[in-house]
Amino acid sequence: MRIAIGGSPAPLEQLEPWEDFERSQGRPLFGRYAYEVDSKTVAVIALYRYSMARWPFLWAKHGPVWLGEQSPTREAELRKLLVREVRRRDKRVVFIRMHARFCARDTLPLMSSITYDRTYVIDLRPGTPEAIRAAMPKDGRRGVRRAERVAREAGCTIAEETGLSREEFENVYQVLIATAERDGFRPHPSQVYWDMLTTLGPQHARLFVLRRDGVPHCWDLVTVAGKDAATYYGASSNASRSFRGAEALDWAVACTLAKEGIRSLDLMGAESTRVPELYGVGRYKRRFAQHPTEVDGAWDVPTRPVVYQALVRARRTRHLVRKWLGR
């Protein structure tokens, strides 16, 4: 895959290092494919085996990676070729989850999970905190200055803790438990985040923690691919809101990465007409960049349409029953 991509920027999930993490979660690589037009590689994609209610599907997170023109026709042809290949190799697979810029008849809304097609990316190329801040919106410039000051006055410290022990990470993980209870989502078991840190290694996965009196209050798990980084996971305690901990940490991470020569920090996801659920987090993230960045959202591409629709109906029925029982 790296040979096909060459020096082109690519998301970590589509590169070889990600394979070790997926394998640690029991999700082996299905295959890596190159889509060629006139003997030239136009796109590459890595597919991993997943399952939902015992039904297998394939997921290409943030894939395919387009190296040439990305047109509706080419996207459709690539999907057609992939569906044919998957049916040939494994008739049990129900659908492929992959990303696309253009909506089509064969791209269906995700049966489960949530995607995004807009994000905010902090431009780190200016290099210095002053220059990076100058490129931000006015309220963002004020916000990070205030967050720095308030967190400092509260006695907070921010440091990279990528090499912490498993026991130490369990303590940090408790912040995510509090975040999930507050924001209404179910976090992965702590082992998942630990596996990400250990299988990807410090070259590709880093942990930054904000502490107050030695107690962790906020953390960012940052992934790095080449010169680009992303805040893959993050957590913040309820108490940290009083001293703007999350904002102070995100800003400190951005400044640290910029100093190391990283050119961008993707905050991973914001609201759009397709995903209004992300409006709240989008309001926070928009202060770090003047404009949102459009990205390809994820879609389900059925390989067994009849089975896929049956699964959709079953999930809807189960949701309605749970909602009714909840009353």
Q: 30, 56 in Cβ contact below 8 A? A: no
Give pLDDT, residue 113: 87
> What are 31's strand-pairing partners?
47
Q: Are residues 123 and 262 in the same domain?
A: yes
Q: Are residues 211 and 250 in the same domain?
A: yes
Residues 241 and 278 in one domain: yes
The overall average pLDDT reported for the chain is 95
**Do residues 180 and 108 share a domain?**
no
Same domain for 76 and 25, yes or no, is yes
* pLDDT tens, residue by residue, 253-299: 999 999 999 999 999 999 999 999 999 999 999 999 999 999 999 99
- For the chain, what is the domain count? 2
Residues of the domain holding 128: 119-294
Residue 317, pLDDT > 90, answer no
Percentage above 90 pLDDT, the chain:
91
CATH number at residue 181: 3.40.630.30
Are 276 and 135 part of one and the same domain? yes
Q: What is the pLDDT of residues 188-245, one digit of tens each?
A: 999 999 999 999 999 999 999 999 999 999 999 999 999 999 999 999 999 999 999 9
Residue 3 has pLDDT above 60, yes or no: no
Verify that 55 and 95 share a domain, yes or no: yes
Question: Does 274 share its domain with 303?
Answer: no
In a shared domain, residues 203 and 233: yes
Question: What's the whole-number mean pLDDT along residues 107-129?
Answer: 95
Q: Is pLDDT at 326 greater than 70 in this prediction?
A: no
> Are residue 136 and residue 221 in the same domain, yes or no?
yes
Taking CA atoms, 265 is separated from 225, 231, 257, 292, in Å, by: 11, 7, 8, 13
> What pLDDT was estimated at residue 7?
64
Q: How far apart are CA 228 and CA 124, in angstroms?
A: 9
